[in-house]
Amino acid sequence: MKENVRALLLSKLKDENCLWSYDASKMNDISDDALIEHVLLYLDIDDINKLFPLFGYKKVKRVWLERVAPQGEMFRQYNILYAWYYFGAKRPEAYVKSIETRHINRILAA
């Protein structure tokens, strides 16, 4: 069952040409983290909802925090929605801004 959902999400990403930078012969080997990231960035709410039973709340949130939320202005409105709707942030705008700021500070400190 889970493999069917994973295959469906991967197929939708391929159909939308969201995996253009991946080697076509290795697309089926995409990591869970990359799959979660691309679904959050490029697919719709129905598809995003499929991530939670497939991977679990903690893993989806971790990938969102590490790979999606820090992406800044381009995806800020999505991230505010995710912070509020999926992750229960009371002040989603401030929460997303703090994630972005922490990410920038880590880069500058390195």
**Average pLDDT of adjacent 10-residue blocks, the chain of 110 residues:** 89 88 77 95 96 97 95 91 95 94 88
Q: What is the pTM of this model?
A: 0.89
- Supply the pLDDT for residue 56: 96
- Residue 12, exposed/middle/buried by CB under 10 A (0-12, 13-18, 19+)? middle
- Supply the pLDDT for residue 79: 95
39 closest CA partner among 89, 78, 1: 78
